[in-house]
Amino acid sequence: MNLYYILVFLNMILWFHKATGFYQAGGFFMIEINHVSKTFGTKKAVDDITVTIPTGCITGFIGPNGAGKTTSIHMMTGVLQPDSGSIKLNGKDISKDPINAKREFGLVPDNPDLFLRLSGLEYINFMADIYHIDTATRDARIKTLAEEFEIKDALNDRMSSYSHGMRQKAILIATLVIDPNIWILDEPMTGLDPASSYLLKEKMKEHAHQGNTVIFSTHVLEVAERLCDKIIIIDHGKIRYDGTLEDLKAQYPEKESLEDVFLEVTKHA
Amino acid sequence: MHDLFTLTKLLFKANYKIDIHSKKGKQSLLVGFFVFLCILPSLAMFYMFFHSAFSTLNLDLMILQLGFSITGFLVLWIALFMFPSVFYFSNDLNHLLVLPVSPTMIIFAKFIIVYISLFLTSLFVTIPMLAAYIIAGANIVQILAFIIQLPFVTLAPAFIVGIFWIIVFRFIPFFKNKDRFNLITGVISIIIAVGIGAASGLVSGTSVEDPAILLSMLQKNPETLSFLTQLFFNIPFATRAIVNISIIDLALHLVIICITGGLFYLCSKYLYLISATNAKGSVSKRNKKLKTIRQTNPFFSYLKIDFYKLMRTPAYFSNCVLSGLVAPIIMIVVFMAFPEINDAKTALASIEITQFINLPLWLYLGGLIIGFFFGSLNGISATAFSREGKNISFMLYIPFDFSKQLAAKVSLGIFFSVLSCILLLIPVHMFLTYPIYYDIAYLFGTLLASLLVNFLALLIDGIHPKTNWEDETSAIKNNLNVVFEFLASWAIIVVVCAPFFLFNIFNHLIYYTIFVSIIFILIIIIMYIFGPKLILRYLKKGI
């Protein structure tokens, strides 16, 4: 009888943690991808992948061209509907509760050519409106980030007059202003000058350190090697590796760099 | 010459190649065929005009000069807009300049591409004219001389336009902004369209099928033809070479072309590159002060952004906003230019029209019909998703309800549709005198029709958007969704009006109107409820 009451009490504590969100704090999973598949015609772009991405870490999502990275990101962000499986962001199912799930992340797409007819400031404020960021908060964040990324003088200009790197900065600032729990960054360093690239990496570390989640895809493996706590390698629609960088290197002790390991992993895929 | 040929082939493939095996290629062919069918009556009209003129009047020289002058205006008109697009605002110049070919080769390769378009366009006038000339009894030498002149008649105006733009872009920096250029040329096109509409109204009673009247007008006003031949100074030589079979005139024509070509070569060599590499889309204003933008409701923020994109993109502004407004404006101008308007107005003012008909009902019905017709002219809802292009996935990953996004998009289309219809009240009030509050019935009719036609257009574009484009103009031009919207509107008009002719329901008009209105409201409700889910399913499949 005492054992029964102990078990009931433990279940209540577990339920309480899940209900109040303690479940998500430090070490719990911010992104859960369960047996997700996606087929286009006869081609299986993503084949039954199961991945969990915890809080408090930076996860690198790497793979060759056509591996299924973009498809996976599209499914994670609600752009594509998986043929099977489920995806949860901070406990919210992207298919069943899309609006609330989408509030959990901010996406920096690989192509920054968005809304070129708007000024950088107009785009950032538009995103802030969509994510319900109040005036005072957004104003303070915009001013700070614009100074840090050295784009303050250009924010009133149309994004069509920006270089590729400046557009990338404007898109990044918009994501940082809304400050979601999850950052999903698709090739975020492309076009950024060294100072901005360094600044972004510092911000990614800071965001993860605060108990949030950063997942980014990149082809520049040196950056992934220096930045990531966790690595996911995808190839031909399947997950080839999902774990820490240290464990991955331990599996291939003869390989010196992540690049060498990656080539080895994908060679046998 | 090898470099020139290689470059020309490359540019030709980039500009004109249609892969007939691909879906897009087949669509382009279909659109081209449809456009050709629409142009056929004009070709027939030109043939009839020239045939009558050649057969009845012994003025071959004057008729040929008139024909070639029309061709010259057509070429001038197209070249004025095409040259800057190809020479200054295309994205290929930076890629071509790094190749081991001289800039002169690049310029002439681009000129050949422009010339091909101009030549093909000129055939719309010259082929019917040639056919009429042959039927009218021209001898074989004259026919050969005509055919030889065909490619040369358009060359001189093309060179002149090229020289004009090279000088303008080199010395007047104002036009180097592509957006500004496209906006100004779009507005000028509209103004000229309105002007032609007004002019056709002023020339009342004139039939273009009766050449004798037109030619007598020219004979009475020879300075008009003299002006045309001075403007196109190569045409008298070209026409005399044909009619008089004059080798000297042919040689002089070729000399004129060589001179204009030489001037074009010099201008392009010394003036073109420096301005072409500086032409850009938009310039930085460097307004450094960051103003605070207050938090807004997401729906209004989304609507505002969509509105900005529509108004700030010259291609969308000209082809969607202005094109929808130009038809009512033309009607207003034509009505005002119509000489008998005052007489008609006086006659109608003496009649108490409300005593004869149920004016509010007829205004409501009129608003309904006009709403279907003019409401579908702007193509805003029919290109709502196409205009997003490759960034359409943005709509799917932001945390903003998809139904509300659609509501914002369709609101823009409805606004401009209703605006077009409201403008038409101006000529109506010029003819009829009635209490202005009767127009509320008209507004209800236009609003109902605009809601239906715009929801339908949104559905059409949502199910099959054209998102794979490189240039914003491509998002709306050759977009079959706009055509489908227009056809659907016409089909609805036919279905609504058919019972009037088939069953003579004038005695039960009010009941029929109520019945039709209820059906429309039900259709709108069904589209509002199920449309977003259907569109979302298709969009997610397509990405």
Contacts of B169 (CB under 8 A, 6+ apart): B84, B88, B175, B176, B275, B276, B279
Mean pLDDT value of segment B506-527: 91
**Amino acid letter, B402:** F
pLDDT tens-digit profile of B119-177? 988 988 899 999 999 988 888 999 999 998 888 988 988 999 999 988 888 888 777 67
Check which CATH number belongs to the domain holding A258 and give it.
3.40.50.300
Residue numbers in A near B397 (CB within 8 A): 77-79, 102, 107
Nearest CA in chain B to A160: B282
Contacts of A103 in chain B (CB under 8 A): 399
Please check whether residue A20 lies inside any domain of the structure: no
Q: Which of A100, A160, A166, A185 to mutate to test the interface with B (most CBs of B within 10 A)?
A: A160
Look at residue A229 and tell me if it is in a domain.
Answer: yes
Please write the tens of the pLDDT for every residue from B363-393: 999 999 899 988 888 889 999 999 999 889 9
- Is the CB of B540 less than 8 angstroms away from the CB of A79? yes
Q: Which token pair is B103? A: 């800039």
B286·A157 Cβ contact <8 A: yes
Quick check: is A170 in a domain? no
Residue of A nearest to B296 (CA): A129
Residue B505: band (very low, low, confident or very high) from pLDDT cuts 50, 70, 90: confident
Res B201: pLDDT:
54
Q: Which residues of A touch B396 (CB under 8 A)?
A: 77-79
Neighbours of A55 (CB within 10 A): 21
Q: Please report the number of interchain residue pairs, chain A to chain B, with beta-carbon separation below 8 angstroms.
A: 113
CA distance linking residue B260 with residue B237, whole number of Å: 15
Nearest to B32 by CA among B485, B477, B384: B477
Backbone angles phi, psi at A227, to 5 degrees: -105, -35
Interface list for A 65-84 with B (CB within 8 A) = 74, 77-81
The structure tokens 């107005």 sit at B345
Cross-chain residue pair A155–B290, CB shorter than 8 Å: yes
Mean pLDDT of B99-116: 85
In terms of pLDDT, which residue wins out, B436 or B275?
A: B436
User: Tell me, what's the pLDDT at B49?
Assistant: 81
Residue count of chain A, please give it.
269
Q: How distant is the Cα of A264 from the closest Cα of chain B, in angstroms?
A: 32
Quick one: three-class SS letters along B143-187? Answer: HHHHHHHHHHHCHHHHHHHHHHHHHHHHHCHHHHEHHHHHHHHHH
Distance CA B2, CA A1 (A): 96
Residue A152 has pLDDT above 80, yes or no: yes
What's the whole-number mean pLDDT along residues B501-525?
88
Tell me the three state secondary structure of residue A52.
strand
Instruction: Name chain A contacts of B305, Cβ cutoff 8 Å.
Output: 115, 118, 122, 126
Distance (Å, whole) CA B456 – CA B485? 7
* pLDDT value of position B462: 93
For B287, the closest chain A residue by CA position comes to A156
Interface touch B284/A78, C-beta < 8 Å = no
What is the distance between the alpha carbons of residues B116 and B7, in angstroms, rounded to a whole number?
A: 14
Confidence category of residue A177, pLDDT binned at 50, 70, 90 = very high
Taking residues A246-257, report their average pLDDT: 89
End-to-end CA gap in chain B: 44
Restricting to B residues 144-203, those with a Cβ less than 8 Å away from any Cβ of A are 179
Please state whether beta strands A238-244 and A213-217 pair in parallel, antiparallel, or not at all (unpaired): unpaired
B435-454 residues labelled b (16+ CB within 10 A) or e (exposed): eeeebebbbbbbbbbbbbbb
Could you tell me the residue ranges of all domains in chain B?
2-10+19-276, 308-542
Q: For A152-166, give one letter per residue: b (16+ CB within 10 A) or e.
A: bebbbbbbbbbeebb
pLDDT at residue B281 is higher than 70 = no
Of B188-197, B299-308, B352-361, B371-380, the least confident: B188-197
Q: Which residue of B has its CA nearest to A137?
A: B295
pLDDT-derived band of residue B431, with 50, 70 and 90 as boundaries? confident
> Quick one: what percent of chain B has pLDDT higher than 90?
27
> Of the ranges B166-170, B436-440, B539-543, which one carries the lowest mean pLDDT score?
B539-543
Interface test with B, best of A94, A104, A158, A162 (most B CBs within 10 A): A158
Name which of B55, B186, B228, B194 is nearest B132 in CA terms. Answer: B55
With contact defined as beta carbons under 8 Å apart, do B211 and B342 qualify? Answer: no
d(CA B508, CA B405): 41
With respect to residue A221, please indicate whether it lies within any of the assigned structural domains: yes
Please tell me the distance from the alpha carbon of residue B241 to that of residue B250, in angstroms, as a whole number. Answer: 5
In whole angstroms, how far apart are CA B439 and each of A106, B166, B365, B435? 49, 52, 12, 8
Count up the domains in chain A and report the number. Answer: 1
Pair B398, A130: CB distance under 8 Å: yes
In this complex, do A114 and B283 lie within 8 Å of one another by their Cβ atoms?
no
Residue A24 has a pLDDT of 38
% pLDDT > 70, chain B: 83
Q: Is A267 on the interface with B (CB under 8 A)?
A: no
Does pLDDT of B204 surpass 50? no
Which of B288, B309, B401 lies nearest to residue A99, judging by beta carbons?
Answer: B401
The answer, yes or no, to whether residue B441 has pLDDT greater than 90, is yes
**Which of B234, B238, B89, B97 shows the shortest CA–CA distance to B159?**
B234
- Structure confidence at residue A179 (pLDDT): 93
pLDDT at A18: 42
Per-residue pLDDT, B342: 66
Signed CA dihedral, B505, B511, B513, B518: sign only: negative
- DSSP-derived letter for residue A119 is B
Q: Could you say which residues from 339 to 398 on chain B have a Cβ atom under 8 Å away from some Cβ of chain A?
A: 390-391, 393-394, 396-398
Tell whether pTM > 0.80: no
pLDDT at A17 over 70: no
Computed over every residue of chain B, the mean pLDDT equals 82
A29, A55 contact by CB (below 8 A) = yes
pLDDT greater than 90 at residue B450: yes
- Residues in B closer than 8 angstroms to A134, CB to CB, are 295
Taking an 8 Å cut-off on Cβ atoms, the answer to whether A126 and B302 are in contact is yes
Residue A88 structural domain = 32-104+217-269
A152 close to B (CB below 8 A): yes
| Helical H segments across B469-508, by residue range | 472-476, 480-502
Q: Does A130 touch chain B (CB under 8 A)?
A: yes
| pLDDT given for residue B469 in this prediction | 82
Q: Give the confidence band of B443 by pLDDT, cuts at 50, 70, 90.
A: very high
Q: How confident is the model at residue B338 (pLDDT cuts 50, 70, 90)?
A: low
**Mean per-residue pLDDT over chain A, rounded:** 88
In a domain, A8, yes or no: no
Strands A238-244 and A230-235: antiparallel
Angstrom CA distances, B71 to B49, B120, B228, B258, B317, stand at 14, 11, 11, 20, 29
Of A81, A126, A158, the CB nearest to B282: A158
Strand, coil or helix: what is B459? Answer: helix
Pairwise CB contact (< 8 Å): A129 & B295 = yes
What tens digit of pLDDT does each residue of B32-84 get? 777 777 777 778 888 888 888 887 767 788 888 888 988 888 888 888 878 88
A223 with A189: CB under 8 angstroms?
A: yes
- One-letter amino acid identity for B183? L
Using 50, 70 and 90 to split pLDDT, how confident is the model at B30? confident
Task: Give the model's pLDDT for residue B410.
Answer: 95
Task: Give the model's pLDDT for residue A236.
Answer: 93
Q: Cβ neighbours of residue A243 under 8 Å, at least 6 residues apart? A: A230, A231
pLDDT band at B208 (very low <50, low <70, confident <90, very high): very low
pLDDT for position B78? 83
Tell me how close the Cα of B474 comes to any Cα of chain A, in angstroms.
17
Higher pLDDT, residue A232 or B121? A232
- Confidence (pLDDT) at B227: 65
pLDDT for position B212: 58
